[in-house]
Structure 1
């Protein structure tokens, strides 16, 4: 077999390598594929990151064209190649592992090489004929990995946050719907897993909806924080090898291409080394994950049993729960959401350590930061969608169980405090626990209230207190 038909020879500062003829990436991507066989999660696992890399390269080419630093035909070819990538083509060629040394250089070069070789084809040239259009000289003109990579990451995260915001809002709506559906079902509220005071099941689900909904404005605020970019700073923020006007032109083009209100960082040196926005985002994602996990803990408790647990709600039966116990069904959707939350919390630790590990004018651990944040955003969105569609919307209430628990619980005695006083109600609670008799029965026996007075207690207007009624 003729090797020249299967390979092309490319050169970099370390020497010559044979690159498979059918690929669009080049020698530096090839070396990265050999060096970074780590996670198995490659760039195209996150399509938005591939798209935003192409957006950045397109904006830079247009800015260099404006400054007459690139030939118009080269600009046209680079822009056309970027447009194809933005439309979803050639994503399989973005194949470098997300975990990589070099502060993202392999990611940047993967993009440079794919764009260069596709642009060469559009110019009527062969892949690898870099004397006509070079990955470093032309596609990467006026750029560095250190401004391209974080800019693309920030923009990708903004896009991913849109999806997370949508999933969050839909889950909030679903939980609020259950709050309305269960508004008239009274039950016993619990603190420290002990009977506390009466409430409605609707109030419980409304609280879930509120805590989820609280994240929506914060997600929007986070997108605004990520919109400040360091494009034009090149290697360390000084703008070396880029003309003064370039940064403003490049950001303006990227703003138009992405349709996002991007702005130039006031201090490019600071913006190149600082990971503060990423740490902030990671903390927000952790907060959201903790809230989500707590909700799932509650759903599992409320549905526990069914015969020997709380059994106040029924979760949908998604799959058999045991290979040995017939009839057992597990709360698999809340469980998987719990696990997503634990993963996000772990990712926050990784992001924190990576951000702290930055040294001098650059943080070399940025690939880990980008990988873990994109993963957390995606997993949280998927978990919320799954929780909503495969669990929350199909939850039903066991109203009789809730009512029976309320009748038997000594927690009901708290509602009698305004009528009988703390001393008498404490004595009634103690007797109820000792004898197993109900609070109502004991109150009637001691003639502390009439039957008519007691009958009003289960009414939501009486029992739930001066809260907002559902």
Structure 2
């Protein structure tokens, strides 16, 4: 493959002749052969949008002429369109602050903009630093880019996925509202609930998490853009920040705003930590729901078997006809990843020093991964599993009818101690509560029948039907 020679402040570097990236990107590719993981397309596209908005802002403040601004915007649009994806291969584990990724964007945009103006790659009619990076530093733009990318990913991917999940759970709650089953605490039999009540609870959990996510996401709207290297706004022209924010909001309709305290915003990663914490909360809640559904689905013979999840693929390479709760298991694993990502973000956040946190690349990689993994896992689980869950009503009825803890309903009438004796005799003699109560002559048959109606026990606040 033919090469071209480019130069940076350290000297000459060989770069593939057909590459749009330049010397600093090539150095990063050579130096950081670490994981094979790159920052996500979502992040790269957000950075391209940032560069476009910066070019417009610099043009409006008179620092960048029309021709150069137009060329930078056009090149940025090509990145946003996906035609230059192959130019962004810098490892996610790279030099601190994200300078390598910022320069990757700067060089690709500069070379493509140079072509648009009639030049050739490496000629730099548009300069990566002087023009594409005008009024900017990695220190403000990478941080701001993560806020932009994360907020867009949450609003476009995760929030809709959670809304659909909550809706599906509420639908199932209505579908199962009259199916009475044994409630369980400590994994032991307890007083009855309906299957619908359990699913209604799950829907409430998701709605609560969505509210928390939206509240924490608001912090991402505050950007340290224009702070440049240390928050002093050095080399950023008067009016640049306002022009940038106006341009960004015109493209995203997300109501981004300039940081009230740019020194705080540039060195502090609180918004990122808050968002990651919200994602962890979602993961914890989804793990609980997934585990519950796996328990309720367990069987089909020796488990609870109160629900049946749809069969989506064979469950064993050795046991014929075995079917596993594959999508619930997948959801668990995705949630474990998100919980682990939150720890990485926490550690990276506390590693900030003085005017800058240099651990931004690993925070970006993990935060965007968490959002995208959660959204994808939720959508797959919702569409391929939750929607097809069926209730095994006969099994639910059979178990609740044999539940000795139903005697709890009799305690206001015969007292706690006598109710406990009844429950023990039910266990020992393998009889029904009704049979034992009548044998002990504690109540009449009519009274027992009225008090032990499982539907009334599951919905004590609902008026009795006449």
TM class by smaller structure: over 0.9
1:462 deviation in Å?
Answer: 4.3
Question: Against the structure 1 CA distance between its residues 13 and 467, is the aligned structure 2 distance closer, same or farther, given a 3 Å change threshold?
Answer: farther
1:226-245 alignment runs, 5 A limit? 226-245=220-239
1:207-356 alignment runs, 5 A limit? 207-356=201-350
| Match of residue 425 from structure 1 | 419
| Match of residue 127 from structure 2 | 134
How far does the alpha carbon of each residue in 1:54-86 deviate from its partner, in whole angstroms, 9 at most, with x for none?
Answer: 111111111111222112211111111112222
| Match of residue 460 from structure 1 | 455
- In structure 1, stretches of 5+ residues that fail to align are none
| Match of residue 119 from structure 2 | 125
Instruction: Give yes or no for contact 1:55–1:258 (8 Å, CA) kept in 2.
Output: no
Instruction: Give yes or no for contact 1:186–1:458 (8 Å, CA) kept in 2.
Output: no
- In structure 2, stretches of 5+ residues that fail to align are none
| Match of residue 13 from structure 2 | 17
Instruction: Give yes or no for contact 1:184–1:202 (8 Å, CA) kept in 2.
Output: yes
Instruction: Give yes or no for contact 2:310–2:385 (8 Å, CA) kept in 1.
Output: yes
How far does the alpha carbon of each residue in 1:126-171 deviate from its partner, in whole angstroms, 9 at most, with x for none?
Answer: 01112x2110111001100011111111111011101101110111
Question: Against the structure 1 CA distance between its residues 467 and 24, is the aligned structure 2 distance closer, same or farther, given a 3 Å change threshold?
Answer: farther
In the alignment, structure 1 residue 148 sits paired with structure 2 residue 161 = no
How far does the alpha carbon of each residue in 1:168-196 deviate from its partner, in whole angstroms, 9 at most, with x for none?
Answer: 01111111111111111111100001111
In the alignment, structure 1 residue 160 sits paired with structure 2 residue 156 = no
1:244 deviation in Å?
Answer: 2.9
In the alignment, structure 1 residue 64 sits paired with structure 2 residue 58 = yes
Number of residue pairs matched? 462
Task: Report the TM-score, using the length of structure 1 for normalisation.
Answer: 0.95
Instruction: Give yes or no for contact 2:194–2:458 (8 Å, CA) kept in 1.
Output: no
1:92-107 alignment runs, 5 A limit? 92-107=86-101
Instruction: Give yes or no for contact 2:217–2:271 (8 Å, CA) kept in 1.
Output: no
Between 245-254 and 21-30, the greater mean CA deviation after superposition: 245-254
Question: Against the structure 1 CA distance between its residues 116 and 468, is the aligned structure 2 distance closer, same or farther, given a 3 Å change threshold?
Answer: farther
Question: Against the structure 1 CA distance between its residues 301 and 264, is the aligned structure 2 distance closer, same or farther, given a 3 Å change threshold?
Answer: same
How far does the alpha carbon of each residue in 1:369-400 deviate from its partner, in whole angstroms, 9 at most, with x for none?
Answer: 11111111111111111111111111111111
| Match of residue 356 from structure 2 | 362
Q: What secondary structure, in the 3-state scheme, does the structure 1 residue paired with 2:91 have?
A: coil
Q: What secondary structure, in the 3-state scheme, does the structure 2 residue paired with 1:195 have?
A: strand
Q: 2:189 aligns with which of 189, 192, 195?
A: 195
Q: What secondary structure, in the 3-state scheme, does the structure 1 residue paired with 2:231 have?
A: coil
- 4+ runs of 1 displaced by more than 6 Å? none
Q: What secondary structure, in the 3-state scheme, does the structure 2 residue paired with 1:426 have?
A: helix
Instruction: Give yes or no for contact 2:309–2:385 (8 Å, CA) kept in 1.
Output: yes
Instruction: Give yes or no for contact 1:23–1:93 (8 Å, CA) kept in 2.
Output: yes
User: Distance in 1 between the 2:445 and 2:102 partners?
Assistant: 78
Q: What secondary structure, in the 3-state scheme, does the structure 2 residue paired with 1:214 have?
A: helix
User: Distance in 1 between the 2:25 and 2:463 partners?
Assistant: 61
1:39 deviation in Å?
Answer: 2.4
1:23 deviation in Å?
Answer: 1.4
| Match of residue 27 from structure 2 | 31
User: Distance in 1 between the 2:409 and 2:396 partners?
Assistant: 17
User: Distance in 1 between the 2:376 and 2:179 partners?
Assistant: 31
1:465 deviation in Å?
Answer: 2.1
User: Distance in 2 between the 1:455 and 1:397 partners?
Assistant: 26
Between 33-42 and 344-353, the greater mean CA deviation after superposition: 33-42
